[in-house]
Amino acid sequence: MPIEFEPPKPIVQTQLVLKTVADEMMRSRSRYFDEHEHEIPWDYIEFMHSAMRAMGGNGLAPRENGKKSEEGEKRPPIGYQMLAAQIEALCWGDVGMYHCLPGGGLGAAAVFAAGTPEQKEKFLARFNEEKPTFAAMSITEAGAGSDNSAIRTRAVMDETTHEWVLNGEKIFVTGGDKSFTEYEKLGEGFIVVWATIDPTAGRKGMRGFVVEGGTPGVKITRLEQKMGIRVSDTAAISLVDARVPFDHILGSATVEKDTSGFKGAMATFDATRPLVAASGVGVARAALEFLKEKLAENGVQIRYGLPRQKLTSIERDVIDMDIMLKSAWLMVVKAVWMADNKKENVLEASMSKVKAGDVCTKITQKVVEILGPLGYSREFLAEKWFRDAKITDIYEGTGQINRLVVARQILGYSGKELR
Residues that are catalytic: 396
190-196 and 135-138 strand pairing: parallel
User: What is the rounded CA–CA span in Å between residue 39 and residue 109?
Assistant: 25
Measured between its terminal Cα atoms, the distance across the chain in Å is: 36
User: Apex CA 179: angle with CA 177 and CA 181, to 5°?
Assistant: 55
Amino acid at residue number 240: V
Task: Give the number of other CB atoms < 10 A from CB of residue 342.
Answer: 9
**Which residues are bridge partners to 223 per DSSP?**
235
Could you tell me if 185 and 231 are in contact, meaning their C-beta atoms sit under 8 angstroms apart? no
In the chain, the amino acid numbered 7 is: P
Give me the residues paired with residue 344 across strands.
none
Q: What is the largest distance, in Å, between two alpha-carbon atoms of the chain?
A: 79
**Which own/partner contact pairs does 400-407 have at CB distance under 8 Å and 24+ positions apart?**
400/146, 401/146, 402/273, 402/350, 402/351, 402/353, 402/354, 402/357, 403/350, 403/354, 405/346, 405/347, 405/350, 406/347, 406/350, 406/351, 406/354
192/107 Cα distance (integer angstroms) = 5
Residue 349: strand, helix, or coil: helix
3 state SS of 93: helix
Contacts of 158 (CB under 8 A, 6+ apart): 164, 165, 243
Which run of H or of E encompasses 351?
helix 346-371
Q: What angle do CA 404, 272, 16 make, to 5 degrees?
A: 130
Spatial CB neighbours of 32, under 8 Å, sequence gap ≥ 6: none
Q: How far apart are CA 357 and CA 352, in angstroms?
A: 8
CA 136 to chain centre: 11
DSSP state, 220? E
User: What distance in Å separates the CA atoms of residue 231 and residue 359, rounded to the nearest whole number?
Assistant: 23
